[in-house]
Amino acid sequence: MKKFPDNFWWGAATSGPQSEGRFNKQHANVFDYWYEIEPEAFYNHVGPDTASNFYNSYKEDIRLMKEIGLNSVRTSIQWTRLIDEFETASLNEDGVRFYNDVIDEFILQGITPMIALHHFDLPVELYNKYGGWESKHVTDLFAKFAGRCFELFGDRVKHWFTFNEPMVIVDGQYLYQFHYPKIVNGKKAVQVAYNINLASAKAIKVFRMMGLGEKGAKIGIILNLTPSYPSSTSEEDIKAGKIADLWRNQMFLDTAVHGAFPSELVKLLKKDKVIWESTPEEEKIIKDNTIDILGVNFYHPSRVKAPDISPDSLQDWMPDRYYDDYDMPGRRMNVDKGWEIFPKALYDIALNIRDNYQNIEWFVAENGMGVSREERFLNDEGVIEDDYRINFIKEHLEWLHKGIEEGSNCRGYHLWTPIDCWSWSNAYRNRYGFISNNIHTQVKTIKKSGYWFKKVAEQNALPDDRNGGV
């Protein structure tokens, strides 16, 4: 048996915009709006209107989460649901009622609720008025919204996260066009990365000023870490790997944990004349408001090589002028999603946090395998036999366990996601849940992986296969 530390968090993660549905929401976020104007950009034209109906069925859904043994679950509070007017952060009554009910229900079922404050769901109004994360004013509005959440729910929620995967906002909205408004502008991307780091620090500042830490609560950020492996040991490929790592991982990780941007990155952005606008006061806020806890989303590694064309070629500035993505021959793939499967990277992440990030308290905040057409695997009892998912989780847990044994301070493992949920422009193409969801009837059924995970959680251990497994 591979035993995990006592009180390990065995859980799963979702988000407000992906599970609740748009019911009773007064405002649209950027995805709600994008779906209104371009439904064909979404897989099978399925939008966020119903999602997995959590707004209406949260009691039943949480009961199912309990049934598969989850002891902790992360979701997010939608800014567009809780707040009526963004400048003053006035409250929406139904939003307050809903999140109070959800949090109470989690606690009643013995599940620790963990709450993120932003999961790609910027109110579209703030984009139209101010340019969204391009604006420093929006960082202040976010801190106000965060303050409201702490006031309302801080008595019961003890694990807070400012942002989920901020790097995806930078990539999706400002570089690679997979999130509305699909801008391609390297200079803006740099400013947005800076502003989100600032917004996160400002929210942490409010949390500290309100004394939530003294009442036993912790605050952090959730980062998608993609360790960068160079394609060879040549000097050029190693350099490409280092720069990819600076941009993709360290830009948020160093800032969150050490309170400062990596100096090599700052040097590079200055040389390229795309450095962000900042003030000493803002830098001090970032310095003084580092995180207590880190959530790591890990799906796939990043493999890079030296770029094919010189970074000095005449072209608009993009971070990937310094590296090209590299497809390693013979790699294992989740073909449905197009991501490489490389569980050892979780061990490398664990040791990196141990050695370079103060061995800070952390947990796997998302890991998972998105598979399409899972009805292929239905058995006679109507249960999806997702052995591929069980193996995927098992392999990742094995490497994680090794990292913990070697001293990494990891507190838990959350799968993406408890119940199949809506996933941005991919909508319901890839399913990730322990529990399936028929999106036409909203009937939810536990998959084989859900029953398997329950046993792992109960035993707080990964059974050794040689002894029969679970």
Question: Under the rule (CB under 6 A), what is the footprint of ligand BG6?
Answer: 15, 18, 164-165, 224, 297, 337, 366, 370, 416, 423-424, 426, 430
Residue 375's identity, in one-letter code, is: E
The Cα–Cα gap between 29 and 68 comes to 32
Start-to-end CA span in the chain (Å):
11
Question: Of 366, 374, 385, 395, which one is the catalytic site residue?
Answer: 366
Cβ distance to ligand BG6 smaller for residue 229 or 416: 416
Is 60 one of the annotated active-site residues of the chain? no
Least distance to ligand BG6, CB of residue 74, Å:
10
Least distance to ligand BG6, CB of residue 381, Å:
27
User: Checking DSSP bridges between strand 293-297 and strand 218-224, what pairing results, if any?
Assistant: parallel
Cβ distance to ligand BG6 smaller for residue 282 or 374: 374
CB 48 within 8 A of CB 17: yes
CB 193 within 8 A of CB 278: no
Residue 269's identity, in one-letter code, is: L
Instruction: Indicate the residue whose CB is closest to ligand BG6.
Output: 423
Cβ distance to ligand BG6 smaller for residue 21 or 147: 21
Cβ distance to ligand BG6 smaller for residue 18 or 78: 18
Least distance to ligand BG6, CB of residue 171, Å:
11
Question: Of 85, 93, 125, 165, which one is the catalytic site residue?
Answer: 165
Query: Cis before residue 181, ω within 30 degrees of 0?
Result: yes
Least distance to ligand BG6, CB of residue 52, Å:
12
Is 67 one of the annotated active-site residues of the chain? no
Cβ distance to ligand BG6 smaller for residue 143 or 421: 421
Q: Determine the 3-state secondary structure of 191 from DSSP.
A: helix
Least distance to ligand BG6, CB of residue 257, Å:
20
Q: At what angle do helices 93-108 and 54-67 cross, to 10 degrees?
A: 10
Least distance to ligand BG6, CB of residue 336, Å:
9
CB 453 within 8 A of CB 389: no
Tokens (6 digits) for 34: 């994008």
The Cα–Cα gap between 9 and 3 comes to 13
Phi-psi map region of 250: left, alpha, beta (phi>0 left; psi -120 to 50 alpha):
alpha
Residue 440: what are its φ and ψ, rounded to 5°? Answer: -85, -35
Cβ distance to ligand BG6 smaller for residue 237 or 420: 420
Could you tell me how many residues make up the chain? 470
Which residues are catalytically annotated?
165, 366
